[in-house]
Amino acid sequence: MNRIPHILATAIIALVWFVNGFFCKVLSLVPRHQEIVARILGEEDAWIFTKAIGVAEILMVVWILSRIKSRLCAVFQMAIVGIMNIIEFVLAPDLLLFGRMNIVFASIFIVLIYVNEFVFRKRGVLNEVA
């Protein structure tokens, strides 16, 4: 079977996590990420929480690319993206790139994660590793 859709989807998913974690949060190239964290968790420790979230997102990339417990990884990603975006939708919509419409892009990302892990595997596009 053709593995290109899975490889491409995995690369896109990992890239989203990496860009948001490393560039936006660890390197602070997008200050509104720290502003969102400050709004939700408080100003005092927003800097360190933002860095910690960024590192966690980079570790997510490692988990995705390792393919260890890939289904658990996919479910975890979908839950994190869903919860994070609902919280931001309620508490910080004015700081989001697309405002309340961010929830639409988050939903598309969740669907991509689901399709990549569960639909492609079910069709036998990918050999089970973990």
Share of the chain above pLDDT 70, in %: 92
Q: What is the DSSP string of the chain?
A: ---HHHHHHHHHHHHHHHIIIIIIIIS--STHHHHHHHHHH-STTHHHHHHHHHHHHHHHHHHHHHTTTHHHHHHHHHHHHHHHHHHHHHH-GGGSTTGGGHHHHHHHHHHHHHIIIIIHHHTTSS----
Model confidence pLDDT, tens digit, residues 70-117: 999 999 999 999 999 999 999 999 999 999 999 999 999 999 999 999
Q: Which residue ranges make up each domain of the chain? A: 4-122
Its pTM surpasses 0.75: yes
